[in-house]
Structure 1
Amino acid sequence: MRLYYLVLFLILFFDCSNNKEHTTATKNSITESVYASVTVQPDSLYQVHSIVSGILQENLVEEGDIVIKNQPLLQIINNSPKLNAQNNRLAADLAYQNYKGEATILNDIRNEIEAAKLKFKDDSINYFRQSNLWKQNIGSKAQYDTKKLNYELSKNSLKLLKDKFKRTENELKVLLKQAENNYETSLINTKDFTIKSKIDGKLYALYKEPGEIVNTQEPLASIGSRNNFIIEMLIDEVDIISITLGQKVLVTLDAYNNTVFDASITKIYPKKDVRNQTFLVEAIFTEVPERLYPGLSGEANIIIAKHDNVLTIPKSYLIDNDKVSTEDGLKTVELGLQSMEFAEIKSGISENTIIYKPE
């Protein structure tokens, strides 16, 4: 009876084992890749801002227009800069007249200097004449002291006037230069009310309508390259160390259904976005889609490595990441590359080893 139950148990055990889902390792090609979300943007895309405030008078171009560098895009109106320019021009004219005009402050000082020179000459003659007489014991001491005092006073007065002339001349020269600079700056500000393109490209968006208020914080338009587009990818921080320049990228865009486009990585931004814990990576198309628009989204797989003719098993058969269930029990395997569905087996089992899918 015991023998009967033992045989029955073995039959049931092997029957259950045979019915359990199983497979063997097979030789295939395997590719390891990093997944990323994709957004397509024009190259050199930038937001157009105004450096002055005012009211939008006119949009000189329309969305979709091709633009060239320095082409006027928008016209803003504001009377304040024009009034400032006029006031600065008047101030510059006044500063010029004060410095180089006929009735200038410097001319008044020059006249004072000429009068002081005549007085100094006269006092000098009287002093030296009196000094010679005093040496001959002619005249009184009081007369000598008075002549000497007048001489020294006129000498100091002349020196003070000359110093005043130089100081005033320098001050007027500086004031004139400042006034001219202010006038030139105000002219530049009036020109800033015409917003121009910084690049040759395409106008992708206008954000303001004529009559709306314009400030320096809000963008007025969006301009980028006409034909060149870049692929922006957000890479998880756990994968960024696997990314290098030149790696091949397989891109699928929602607008092109299942079509796969080749691309290659051209730029890796080193700063992490702490909000979503990702790094920004750029790529360019190797084969460019027929038509692209800013903001097209999709998915990408960045090829990290590829091995051909290697043993692979479905990843669903792995237990604890490095073990498989065999007829002889659990066996540890050495893994190589891993894709989304398969794992490369470098050692631990062979093509003939039957492995069971864990429940």
Structure 2
Amino acid sequence: MRQISPLFLILIVFTCNTNREFTTAQKRSIVESVYASVVIQPDSLYEAYSIVSGILDQNLVEEGGLVKRNQKIIEIINNTPKLNAENSKLAYNLAVKNYKGSSAILNSIKDEIAAAELQCQNDSINYFRQANLWKQNIGSKTQYDSQKLKYQLSKNTLNLLKSKLTQTENELRTAVEQTQNTYKSTLSTSKDFTIKSNMDGKVYALYKEPGEIVSTREPLASIGSASNFIIEMLVDEVDIVKITLGQKVLMHLDAYGEKVFEAQASKIYPKKDERNQTFLVEAVFSNPPKKLYPGLSGEANIIIAKNENALTIPKSFLVNNNQVLTDNGLISVELGLENMEYVEIVSGLDESTTIYNKTE
């Protein structure tokens, strides 16, 4: 069998490689970043809901208007709580009148006790007089027993009336407390029909007009900071582990064309959005533009790392993710930073070695 000369093999490799695109590793600045879509939102933005149902009576503010914390912004109509509050107040007033009024139930019981005390006192005198006579063998046993029975009955009656007074007093006091609590509760419920702002800020949206039905499931207003805005970025789940707080963000907003804005990552939300397989990351402007509106969109690159003097090759020259094609065949290299065009070579290749594109 005829053997092929090693010189001939080198000539074949050389001949094939000369037909390919080739280059050498070069020193350049390389920046690795993570892409994210951007939406601008006011800081502390929230939607105001009603905790009761009814009809919107009036919006007390306008869209774009400034509001203060606890300022009334929306009023809702529902007569049921108002009627309940009035009925509760009537019940409370009646309970107070029964407990403390001049015609209170307690006064009648006290009158009965006063009469019973007089009767008991009189029966006591008659009983002890009859007892003394009986000791002297004066009078009959029947008279003595009769006076003794009357005295015991009057004492029992007096004790029962005193117990009745205590029990009735406790019941009336409890009734006053219960009706007072009910009245306070209905007053609190009636306040639920007035919606207030939770913060100093701006009204960005009002979703209902006067006369429309209000439910507890629909927002009525959108309120947020009037001056501070945050950058909401959606980061793909494969990149989220690269993100840390404080990383630099370079961003374009569609409303401002090619102008680049700088920001810093300020918050990473740990829950993944299963619908689009992304994580929410917030950033704050280093120098925000003069005008911002909720919903402005754009694109951002979160800077992961940067090397000013990195040995790099075009990413298109990589083979099998970690190899390059040279005159000596495929060799393995250790990779570092990378971006859309270039990848850093940490080891395995120098500037003198020619590498070839993997495609002919």
TM-score by length of 2: 0.90
Change (3 A) 1:127 1:286: same
SS in 2 for 1:274: coil
Instruction: Tell whether 2:261 aligns with 1:249.
Output: no
Q: What corresponds to 1:156 in structure 2?
A: 156
Shift, 1:8, TM fit:
9.7
Q: What corresponds to 2:230 in structure 1?
A: 230
SS in 1 for 2:226: coil
Q: What corresponds to 1:306 in structure 2?
A: 306
Trace 1:163-174 onto structure 2 (pairs within 5 A): 163-174=163-174
- Give the conservation status (yes or no) of the 8 Å contact 2:13–2:327: no
SS in 1 for 2:219: coil
Task: Letter of the 1:310 partner, please give it.
Answer: A
Task: Determine the C-alpha separation between the residues in 1 that align with 2:341 and 2:150.
Answer: 111
SS in 1 for 2:294: coil
Identity of aligned residues (%): 64
TM-score by length of 1: 0.91
Instruction: Tell whether 2:32 aligns with 1:32.
Output: yes
Q: What corresponds to 1:56 in structure 2?
A: 56
Shift, 1:74, TM fit:
2.1
Trace 1:138-153 onto structure 2 (pairs within 5 A): 138-153=138-153
Shift, 1:219, TM fit:
0.9
Task: Letter of the 2:39 partner, please give it.
Answer: T
Change (3 A) 1:143 1:23: farther
Q: What corresponds to 1:46 in structure 2?
A: 46
Q: What corresponds to 2:104 in structure 1?
A: 104
Structure 2 regions of 5+ residues with no counterpart?
none
Task: Describe the superposition over 1:258-307 as per-residue Cα deviations: whole angstroms up to 9, x where unpaired.
Answer: 22211111112223333333322211111102221111122222112112
Task: Determine the C-alpha separation between the residues in 1 that align with 2:9 and 2:345.
Answer: 34
Change (3 A) 1:52 1:9: closer
Task: Determine the C-alpha separation between the residues in 2 that align with 1:341 and 1:158.
Answer: 104
Task: Determine the C-alpha separation between the residues in 1 that align with 2:139 and 2:236.
Answer: 108
Moved more, 325-334 or 158-167: 158-167
- Give the conservation status (yes or no) of the 8 Å contact 2:14–2:327: no
Task: Determine the C-alpha separation between the residues in 1 that align with 2:132 and 2:110.
Answer: 33
Shift, 1:11, TM fit:
6.5
Task: Describe the superposition over 1:311-332 as per-residue Cα deviations: whole angstroms up to 9, x where unpaired.
Answer: 1112222122211111111111
Change (3 A) 1:246 1:11: closer
Q: What corresponds to 2:333 in structure 1?
A: 333
Moved more, 24-33 or 234-243: 234-243
Task: Describe the superposition over 1:21-53 as per-residue Cα deviations: whole angstroms up to 9, x where unpaired.
Answer: 111111112222222222111011111122332
Task: Determine the C-alpha separation between the residues in 2 that align with 1:10 and 1:268.
Answer: 55
Task: Letter of the 2:254 partner, please give it.
Answer: D
Change (3 A) 1:269 1:156: farther
Moved more, 236-245 or 163-172: 236-245
Structure 1 regions of 5+ residues with no counterpart?
none
Task: Determine the C-alpha separation between the residues in 2 that align with 1:310 and 1:209.
Answer: 61
Moved more, 70-79 or 88-97: 70-79
